[in-house]
Amino acid sequence: MEGKETVFVVSDSVGETADLVVKAVATQFNGGFVEVKRNAFVADFADIDDVLVMAKDVPSIIAYTIVIPSLKEYLDKRAEEEGLATVDLLNPLMTAFSKTFNKNPKNQPKLMRQLDDSYFRKIEAIEFAVKYDDGRDPRGLLRADIVLIGVSRTSKTPLSMYLAHKGFKVANVPLVPEVAPPEELYQIPRSRCVGLIISPDKLNSIRKERLKNLGLTSEANYASFERILEELEYAEKIMKRIGCPVINVSNKAIEETADSILKILKR
């Protein structure tokens, strides 16, 4: 058997796990001497046979992460018949999981990839929510899964972040009588826009507390009933013009409001 020492990484998924483990081990042996060949998304016996043919031609090890029982059994059997060395990188730990935690594995490939995809979607959504918070860049409205609109202190930002952690790209726009809403707000489907309203009393209480925390007098125009009523009336006109669904957040926790928003989206 001639040729460069080779480790064939075989997986019924992407093969990243096995690839990393093999390279980590190889570094303990001055890793540059070994060639790593990844064979991903192995789906049937023919795919395994192809690897075995290549492995017979060089000094080799087959390191695999295969969770489909029939493929694993076939690889073990055929490799033994051909006198090839194999290492199952998952089964010892899966067996320990089963025995210790008394649970059965799903034996489904690509589950790790699904977790990774979910994680990166969440990170992307969080970055989106930060970038397009408080109407900073109207162009984000056209790319958002959800657009929240409402007067100041209707929990737009906390809701945006909460929904972002669930993987939704959320932008929000404050409605202020002196500032016309961006034109993009009228270009998005109304089903993707949600208006947030609140009772004047509740908003007055929240804004007074906000001013107190900032060290300002509670008599400021920001917390006056006259100003609050003006803002709420203006916001209601905008929401009616758009024709979007509206949620009263007066006595709702963030989680409750988010749940209502997601139900609206499903409809």
Q: Does the annotation list 150 as a binding residue?
A: yes
Task: Sort residue 217 into left (φ over 0), alpha (ψ -120 to 50) or beta.
Answer: beta
Q: Does the annotation list 151 as a binding residue?
A: yes
CA distances from 219 to 75, 107, 153, 243 (A): 77, 64, 17, 34
What is the spatial distance between Cα 196 and Cα 261, in angstroms, rounded to a whole number?
10
- Residue 195 φ/ψ, nearest 5 degrees: -90, 140
Q: Does the annotation list 155 as a binding residue?
A: yes
**Cβ atoms within 10 Å of 145's Cβ, excluding its own:** 15
What is the spatial distance between Cα 75 and Cα 58, in angstroms, rounded to a whole number?
18
What is the spatial distance between Cα 198 and Cα 195, in angstroms, rounded to a whole number?
10
DSSP-derived letter for residue 222 is G
CA distances from 264 to 122, 175, 258 (A): 21, 21, 10
**Cβ atoms within 10 Å of 246's Cβ, excluding its own:** 18
The residue with tokens 């192809």 is 50
Q: Does the annotation list 65 as a binding residue?
A: no
**Cβ atoms within 10 Å of 109's Cβ, excluding its own:** 19
Largest CA distance in the chain: 89
Q: Does the annotation list 118 as a binding residue?
A: no
The residue with tokens 């790790």 is 112
Q: Does the annotation list 154 as a binding residue?
A: yes
What is the spatial distance between Cα 245 and Cα 253, in angstroms, rounded to a whole number?
18
What are the binding residues for ADP? Answer: 150-157
Q: Cite the annotated binding site by residue number.
A: 150-157
